[in-house]
Amino acid sequence: MQIALFGATGGTGRQVLEQALAAGHTLTALVRDPAKIEARSGVSLIQGDVLDEEATSRCVQGSDAVICVLGSGVGAEPVEAQGTQRIIEAMQTHGVRRLVAVTSLGVGDSREQVSAQFQQAMDTVLKPIIAAKTEQERLIRASGLDWTIVRPGGLGDGPCTGDYLSGTDPSLMAGLVSRADVADFVLRQLSDTIYLHQCPAVT
């Protein structure tokens, strides 16, 4: 499968890229700094910003599916909503239907699935990021695409174990999950429609 990947240089994005290549997929990744990704067979890099309509369109063109793992650090201007709008527009232009996007537990109707301490952070230091992810989810829901929104719990480093919980049960509470396991779940959605138009948690 040909995958357009956004957010490839982040922790989860790198895991998506590595696991996708290992599974035999080919990828086109939009990156601001190509030096951050090793050049190799199976990966085409487009230098640019997700807010750049032309660069985003080039990345999406010819793909079978799009994976969006955009993220913003605390204090940075969040790009999740605006970037996702550009991705959606490109997908609609090129007739690409399948979108798998990673947001976070705590966003939207999953607020009660995170701890009181994290909720407090959501209302203070993380408020701009949560607002951007909330708007990102709204845009995806309204896109008319074949979307799945993946909401991981607390992200950590570590190997892909396959030993994680996932689903739409609101009793699933946020817990530490490796970025490698999140990437595993994300890639599984490309060949599985069980969570089509749903927002499963991964924890």
Domain boundaries, the chain: 2-202
Closest CA to 191 of 24, 61, 75: 24
Closest CA to 202 of 163, 160, 167: 167
CA 92 to chain centre: 18
The model's pLDDT over 37-90, given as tens digits with 9 standing for 90+, comes to 988 899 999 999 999 999 999 999 999 999 999 987 777 789 999 999 999 999
- Residue 129 and residue 181: Cα distance in Å, rounded? 23
Topology classification of domain 2-202: Rossmann fold (3.40.50)
Question: pTM of the entire structure?
Answer: 0.96
Sign, Cα dihedral of 89, 92, 96, 101: positive
Sign, Cα dihedral of 92, 196, 173, 116: positive
Mean pLDDT across the stretch 5-29? 97
* pLDDT at 38 (0 to 100): 87
